[in-house]
Homo-oligomer: A and B are copies of this chain.
């Protein structure tokens, strides 16, 4: 949801190491050249993994992008825990905004969305990534329900979707600017709707 980029690498066998090396090279190439400029050759060269191996296991730019997203989906996301739902939701949407503004992570996240528009395999991986993010961030809403801040039965995913949707709408549909103030307003709108019982 925020930066569509991975956290730190975790230990694993040689296959896992190869996959991570290819993933890191894929992300670096996406950041520099976008999905339009992603090639299997460049990823192989950058990763130090033999071109034949990269072709055999991934084959296409779309598959490289999809696999980088698959890895990112499995990684934990640093969720805010400010002690209240207002602060948590604002921080969550703030992460999305700052992720896209980040000179490293932003172009990669944009490249993933761009790739998903053109490639069904990448779209499927992007959808799984967002499902994982919605699932992970549900805890913010569950804590708020437990604290009595939101009505029993509030749908966590629906609350999170509503909070972040205006950011994506501006960035990818209307091309309107996004800043910290946009994040606060989007978070507060979702919170007002959740409090009013719209998501129960």
**Could you list which residues of chain A lie within 8 angstroms of chain B, going by C-beta atoms?**
36, 113-114, 116-118, 123-124, 126-127, 130-131, 134, 158, 161-162, 164-166, 168-170, 172-176, 185-186, 188-190, 192-193, 195-196, 198-199
Copies of this chain: 2
Q: A117 contacts which chain B residues (CB < 8 A)?
A: 113-114, 117-118, 172
Q: Which of B113, B114, B123, B188 contacts A193 (CB 8 A)?
A: B188
A185 and B118 alpha carbons, distance in the complex (Å): 29
Q: A198 contacts which chain B residues (CB < 8 A)?
A: 185, 188-189, 192
B189 touches A193 (CB 8 A): yes
Q: Which of B131, B134, B165 contacts A165 (CB 8 A)?
A: B165
Q: Other CB < 8 Å A-B pairs besides A123-B175, A126-B175, 6 of them?
A: A36-B118, A117-B118, A127-B175, A134-B174, A161-B166, A189-B199
Q: List 26 A-B contacts (CB under 8 A).
A: A114-B117, A114-B118, A116-B173, A117-B118, A117-B172, A118-B118, A126-B173, A126-B174, A130-B175, A130-B176, A158-B185, A162-B186, A162-B189, A165-B168, A168-B168, A168-B169, A168-B172, A168-B173, A169-B169, A172-B173, A188-B198, A189-B193, A189-B198, A190-B193, A192-B192, A196-B196
A199 and B134 alpha carbons, distance in the complex (Å): 25
A165 touches B158 (CB 8 A): no
A185 touches B173 (CB 8 A): no
A114 and B120 alpha carbons, distance in the complex (Å): 13
Q: A188-B193, A189-B190, A189-B193 are in contact. Are A127 and B168 (CB under 8 A)?
A: no
Q: A158 contacts which chain B residues (CB < 8 A)?
A: 185
CB proximity of A187 to chain B, nearest CB, Å:
9
CB proximity of A177 to chain B, nearest CB, Å:
11
